[in-house]
Amino acid sequence: MPRIERRSLLVAALGAPAILASGRSSAQADDRPVITIAVQQIVNANALDTLREQSNVGERVFASLFETLIGRNHQGRGEMVPQLATEWRRVDDRSVELTLRRGVLFHNGDELTAEDVVFSFGPERMFGSAEAGQASGTLFTQTAGARGGGLPPEVPAVARRMWPALERVEAVDRYTVRFVNRRPDVTLEGRIQRYGSEIVSKRAFLAAENWLAFVQKPVGTGPYRVREFKPDQSLVLEAFDGYWGGRPPIREVRFLVVPEISSRVNGLLAGQYDFACDLPPDQIPGIERNPRFEVVGGLIGNHRLIVFDKNHPQLADARIRRALTHAMDRQAIVDSLWAGRTKLPNGLQWDYYADMFHADWSVPAYDPTRARDLVRAAGYKGEPIPFRVLNNYYTNQVATAQTLTAMWNAVGLNVQIQMRENWQQIFDRSSPRAVRDWSNSAPFADPVSSIVNQHGPSGQQQQVGEWTNEEFNRLSGELETSTDRPHRKAVFRRMLEIAEREDPAYTVIHQNATFTGKRKDIRWRPAPSFVIDLRASNFAVVKG
């Protein structure tokens, strides 16, 4: 299908020359600000795609481009709110029906309809093929996608984790859709709301030359659209004045890759940047000594983890992995590297799980004596244990890795840091893997969104071949299908016992926090997540 110039699409769709990229006639000046945001990274995979890019850095920018049917309150506790759907109702244990918001436009001027929703959850966009959507395997290799090129295997693999039993999404009428699962699922609304379930334009996706062409300039419904994307350098967004939620407050948003923390801080103070992201706590006092700037942020719904590959010869014995968990003085890391600005969580869970939250659960206790005893009992002889680390993809990542390595060495574990350049090298199987850094979020308020999604039988850890446990996998299925909440809570607790204490798949270091330096004359509130919310309700420049 030939490409159609986007400006022509808007005029044709709206029949109103005044509604163009600026939302004003060409004779009128656009006095909205241009904002520059310095980040350590924009995306990992050079793709502006929420399915391919399930990452902390991706989540930060995608909220401006895409939206889900059920939204998330970024200025509250992440509770569900209407977004592209105005209302939804349970049909039964397997089905949810949603009413679409009328008059929503995609960035190409097309109106959002049920057809776009059905496509966004279909084989060409998400699962790769009808068979892949129904498959029970852990990794997909053959896919079909946008015309002229297929989906990368990571896309249907992520879709399988997000939607392990989705039977179909059907259009009831032009503005009504129904999600039907193959089995009961009390979390369907959460899955519809979660990061990765964003809606894209069917026509724009199919008109793209291939998948990569679409994801480098995607067409969503968000308040901003892509003007220019230079992988590993910059992403420039422009206001989409056809946005259903009102005229965006910023004319142009520029995300610039500035890897060094000192360069982000110095650029902020020099006026090169309006925002500087991913700041460690030790930089906060220096910035706030300048009356023109402030640092905002705090705890978010994400935990920093250490993840184990039990196939490595030194980690096959669970006692060594348990020794690693007990050798970690997590509070010392919180106090020294984070200045007490974060905390130790109750394992891999969040209090917004409500009645599914186990308040009496805790991370493994710091007990170096017990760690040494476990090392001796396992017959460990000091063989090297590789620890793969990126260069401060996470705030304080290198310093944390160095601190942990010293703690592990102190109990007789010969852990050795191996610096890597990207995630592909972190997961590479061509050389022995043992320990790596990671983080984990809960995209909606239920444990299946985290412990099952990331560590269950179709989760990333098992997809890449690091860890598996037969009982844990069976319980994952129970957690996903049971409608008995007390039973689900008991199942979740047993899964925590297995994955964090008996046969460790991972161990939590601390809850994550993000800190952003910004101009003080900009009124903007950080979300309790990695999202940068730049809608009109959350951005203003104070005059004078």
pLDDT value at 465 more than 90: yes
**CA distances (Å), 433 to each of 153, 197, 418, in order?**
22, 32, 10
Checking if the pLDDT of 148 tops 80, the result is no
Residue 115's domain is classified under what CATH number? 3.90.76.10
Confidence of residue 15 (pLDDT cuts 50, 70, 90): very low
Q: What CATH code is carried by the domain that includes residue 364? A: 3.10.105.10
DSSP class of residue 284 equals H
Q: Is pLDDT of 138 > 50?
A: no
Residues 202 and 325 in one domain: no
Using the predicted structure, report yes or no on whether residue 531 has a pLDDT greater than 60: yes
Q: What are phi and psi of 360, to 5 degrees?
A: -90, 5
* Tokens 């049971």 found at: 482
Backbone CA torsion sign across 483, 484, 489, 490: negative
Would you say the C-alpha torsion 261, 533, 447, 334 has a positive or negative sign? positive
- Residues 128-152 have a mean pLDDT of 46
User: How many degrees, rounded to 5, is the angle at CA 296 between CA 291 and CA 299?
Assistant: 155
Output the CA–CA distances (angstroms, integers) from residue 460 to 1, 164, 334, 457, in the order listed.
Answer: 36, 13, 27, 9
Q: What is the pLDDT at residue 28?
A: 66
pLDDT at 11 exceeding the cut of 60: no
The amino acid sitting at 525 is R
Asked, for residue 152, whether it belongs to a domain, the answer is yes
In a domain, 221, yes or no: no
323-365: pLDDT as tens digits: 999 999 999 999 999 999 999 999 999 999 999 999 999 999 9
Q: What is the pLDDT of residues 157-188, one digit of tens each?
A: 999 999 999 999 999 999 999 999 999 999 99
| 19 lies in some domain | no
pLDDT at 46: 86
Give pLDDT, residue 393: 92
Residues 71 and 200 in one domain: yes
In the chain, the number of structural domains is 2
Strand, helix or coil for residue 440? strand
Domain that holds residue 410: 300-512
Grouping H, G, I as helix, E, B as strand and the rest as coil, residue 147 is coil
Which pLDDT value is given to residue 129? 63
Compute the average pLDDT of residues 476-505: 97
Q: Provide the CA 369 distance to its chain's centre, in angstroms.
A: 37
What is residue 544's predicted lDDT score, i.e. its pLDDT?
A: 67
* The predicted structure's pLDDT at residue 31: 94
Clarify whether residues 497 and 390 are in a common domain.
Answer: yes
Residue type, position 130, single letter: A
| Domain termination site, one of 189, 206, 223 | 206
- Is residue 24 situated within a structural domain? no
Averaged pLDDT for residues 103-122: 98
Same domain, 86 and 190: yes
Residue 79 pLDDT: 86
DSSP characters for 46-99? S---TTT--SHHHHHHHTTT---SEEE-TTTTS-EEESSEEEEEEEETTEEEEE
Answer whether residue 380 is part of any domain: yes
Average pLDDT over every residue of 88-95: 98
User: Is 45 contained in some domain?
Assistant: no
pLDDT in tens, 276-303: 999 999 999 999 999 999 999 999 999 9
Do the strands 293-308 and 435-441 form a parallel or antiparallel pair, or are they unpaired? antiparallel
Let me know if residue 157 belongs to a domain: yes
CA distance linking residue 243 with residue 86, whole number of Å: 16
Shared-domain flag, residues 194 and 312: no
Would you say residue 56 lies in a domain? Answer: no
Give the integer Cα–Cα distance in Å for 467 and 461: 6
SS3 235: strand
pLDDT of residue 29: 86
Check whether residue 339 and residue 195 sit in a common domain.
Answer: no
**Residue 22 pLDDT > 60:** no
Q: Where are the beta strands (DSSP E) in 104-175?
A: 166-173
Are 332 and 461 within one domain? yes
**For the purposes of burial, counting CB atoms within 10 Å of the CB of 39, is it exposed (0-12), middle (13-18) or buried (19 or more)?**
buried
